Copies of this chain bind each other. A is one copy, B any other.
Amino acid sequence: MRVGVMGATGYTGHELLRLLRGHPEAETVFLGSAAHVGADIREIYPGLPGQWPTLRAEETPAVDILFCALPSGTTAARAGRFLAAGIKVIDLSADFRLRDAAEYEAWYGLRHPAPDLLEEAVYGLPEFYRADISAARLVANPGCYPTAALLALRPLLQAGLLEASSLIIDAASGVSGAGRTVAADYLFSEINENYKPYGVGVHRHTPEIEQELSLAAGQALRVSFTPHLLPITRGILATIYARPAPGVSEADLRRSWEEAYADESFVLPLPPGVWPQTKFAAASNYVFLQLRLDERTGRVVIAAAIDNLVRGAAGQAVQNMNLMLGRPERLGLEQAGLWP
């Protein structure tokens, strides 16, 4: 299982290396970096233990599977080459998440570099696309916010338990979600002791959420999605508001989750009254869920917590790798979250 990581020096890259180091069957033989060719990754991350391949810029690495942790727009342009060389690809960017190239162009402002590959690409949410992922050559690893929202909502919409037009997703993320972007907005002094909404009404994860929820609901739907920036490094909490379909009880909603996730390793609905906290998921691949049907207002409130770098990025990518290479899905991913 020869594994490569393109974009190894970003936060997602580091997180992939951390998880791959603990994976019993993966051998990381290639680290790609445009900016640091020839360097040892430990020059950038001196705390990373172990021996690692020198950072390289080669075009087509000799690996069985390749994680691409590159900016949106850059993987799609190379994916065809990788696939032609017999390399399976897990793309952690947004390039292959939207099935419709026009949507991609509308929200990302980029002409899609490889629209012909969109049909082949599989959306890498294992709980819902497991068989397709196992057979795929090209997997689009979901966005962090969509992962939280979809795991909370897909079963409920699939079962017709929620009014499709009523969805409001109010979500908050740790700053690592922005990657290692060096900008004043992400300085410690401006984030610490601060909390703010951003991208209100225009965040790029919106069409991804809508695509997958529409598929689950069997009808086109739109959501209000408002992300916020939390003064934490890791973690996403999505708080979701919806109207139940007529006659639906809280028990119906819970049962839907229980059925969907009874055999799942990583999705953990909590006991009634115990609400998710981002720290439950810290440094782990687990997802925590809770809901409440508020009789006073007739609305359901749902919450989902993940670690954006693990289940929202590198951990889910490793989960996909395990499936694509025919290994047990949980391999190397069952670490408990940190507490405290």
Binding site for B on A (CB under 8 A): 11, 14-15, 17-18, 21-22, 45-50, 168, 170, 172, 174-176, 180, 182-184, 186-198, 200-201, 222-224, 226, 228, 230-235, 237, 239, 241, 268, 270-271, 274-284, 286, 288, 292, 294, 296-297, 299, 301, 303, 305, 334-340
> Is there an interface contact between B271 and A46, defined as CB atoms closer than 8 Å?
yes
Query: Chain B contacts of A182 at CB under 8 A?
Result: 182-184, 187
Given A180-B187, A294-B201, A336-B193 contact (CB < 8 Å): no
**In the bound complex, what is the Cα–Cα distance between A294 and B225 (angstroms)?**
10
CB distance from A318 to the nearest CB of B (A): 14
Query: Chain B contacts of A296 at CB under 8 A?
Result: 201, 222
Q: List 12 A-B contacts (CB under 8 A).
A: A11-B189, A14-B340, A17-B336, A47-B288, A49-B268, A168-B299, A172-B228, A193-B235, A194-B279, A196-B275, A230-B231, A231-B232
CB distance from A84 to the nearest CB of B (A): 33
**In the bound complex, what is the Cα–Cα distance between A233 and B231 (angstroms)?**
11
Contact partner of A194 (CB less than 8 A), chosen from B191, B195, B278, B288, is: B278
Query: Chain B contacts of A180 at CB under 8 A?
Result: 184, 187, 189
> Is there an interface contact between A193 and B196, defined as CB atoms closer than 8 Å?
no
> Is there an interface contact between A172 and B172, defined as CB atoms closer than 8 Å?
yes
Given A188-B175, A231-B230, A271-B46, A224-B200 contact (CB < 8 Å): no
Given A168-B168, A168-B299, A283-B283, A18-B224 contact (CB < 8 Å): no
> Is there an interface contact between B226 and A239, defined as CB atoms closer than 8 Å?
yes
